[in-house]
Structure formats: C-alpha cells, structure tokens
Amino acid sequence: MKFNHSSAASASRRRLRVMTRCALMAALLCVLSPMSVAIGPVPVSLGLFGVLLAGVLLGPLYGSCSVLVFLLVGLVGLPVFAGGAGGFPVLAGPTGGYLWSYPLVAAAGGFLCRAACRVRCRGWKIALVALSQLPGVAVCYALGTLQYCLLTGAAFWQGLAACVIPFIPFDLVKCLVAAVVGVLLAERKALDLPGRNKATPQ
C-alpha cells in the first residue's frame, strides 16, 4: 500500500490551520471579555460578542473548542473575564452561568448558521446569520438567570430584570455585528463560514 504524502501533508496543514484559528479566537475572547461596563449586578461585556463570532467563523465544534480554551485560561486565574476578573470563584459566582453557557452558545450559533451561509444574497445572508444566533443568546440568558437566582435568592422576575431585559438591545447588536463580520470575512475568503463548502472545518 502506498502512502499518499500529499494527502497527509494536506491534512496536516488543515489541522494546523484549524488549531491556529481556534487559538486566535480564544486570544480574541481574552481581549474582548474584560471590556465591560457595570449597569447593575451583571455587567455588559463584549465576551458574548466574541463567543457569537467564534460560532459564526469556526462552526459548532471548533467554535466551542476555542471558547473552552478561553474558559480554561480564566479558570487558572488569568484576568480574562468581565472587568478583568479570573479564577473559579467567578464561574461559581452569581454571574458564572453566563460563562458556563458560552460553549453552548458558540455550538448553537455555529450549527444554526450553516443553512444561512448558503444564501447568495449578502443582505439576506447577514440577516439570517444574525437570526441564527438568537437561540444561543436565549441559552445564555437562561443559564445566566438560573445561576443568578439560585445563588442570590432572587425571584424569577427579579432575575429577568437583572439578567435579561437590560441586555436585549446590546445583544441584538452583537448578533448583527457578528453576522456582518463573518459574512464579509467569508466573501473576502479570509475565512470560510460554516457550511460554505465541504472544506470548512466542522
């Protein structure tokens, strides 16, 4: 049996390319997430935007992997969470549910945007990719509110007031910007969107 060196080299390059993209996205999350503004007990952070972008650009598998790397970096104590915090107490605290949800958010957004990525019209593609991120955002709200209510003893409606309602306008903008950036990068062939072609890593 002959060993296909060109095929092995191609697979190796593809793995290296995927690993590089995951590492770069994890690094971007480490930069974006600490950027936050406190508007109450839960700050507005750019972390969710980075997570949405990871799912759009890398797909469900590698997008969630890059997010897990980011969480591990924060877990060991580096100040990469909102406000420059880090360590397990943040994940175990009232706002930790948002962070636990991040891999699921990236996986859901990456999976659901596959069909949208096959649309030819740029405007419709951006709109559909943005809409495909909403279920992931809902998961983030659900887990974030659940942990907040459990640890603070807040009632459900109080959790919604603190953890969901103030963030809806910001997160809609994050979904739209993630869609615009993802589609434009794909059109310039800087990075393939999930579902764009068979070579896209999933």
pLDDT score, position 195: 52
The model's pLDDT over 102-131, given as tens digits with 9 standing for 90+, comes to 999 999 999 999 888 788 888 999 999 999
Instruction: Work out whether strand 36-38 and strand 43-45 pair parallel, antiparallel, or are unpaired.
Output: antiparallel
Fold for domain 12-187?
Arp2/3 complex 21 kDa subunit ARPC3 (1.10.1760)
Residue ranges per domain, the chain? 12-187
The model's pLDDT over 28-56, given as tens digits with 9 standing for 90+, comes to 999 999 999 888 888 899 999 999 999 99
pLDDT score, position 12: 76
End-to-end CA distance of the chain: 29
Please state, as a whole number, how many other Cβ atoms lie within 10 Å of the Cβ of residue 181: 18
Taking alpha carbons only, the member of 56, 67, 97 closest to residue 179 is 56
What number is the average pLDDT over the span 182-201? 62
Instruction: Check: pTM over 0.85? Answer yes or no.
Output: yes
119-122 own/partner pairs: CB under 8 Å, 24+ apart: 122/183, 122/187
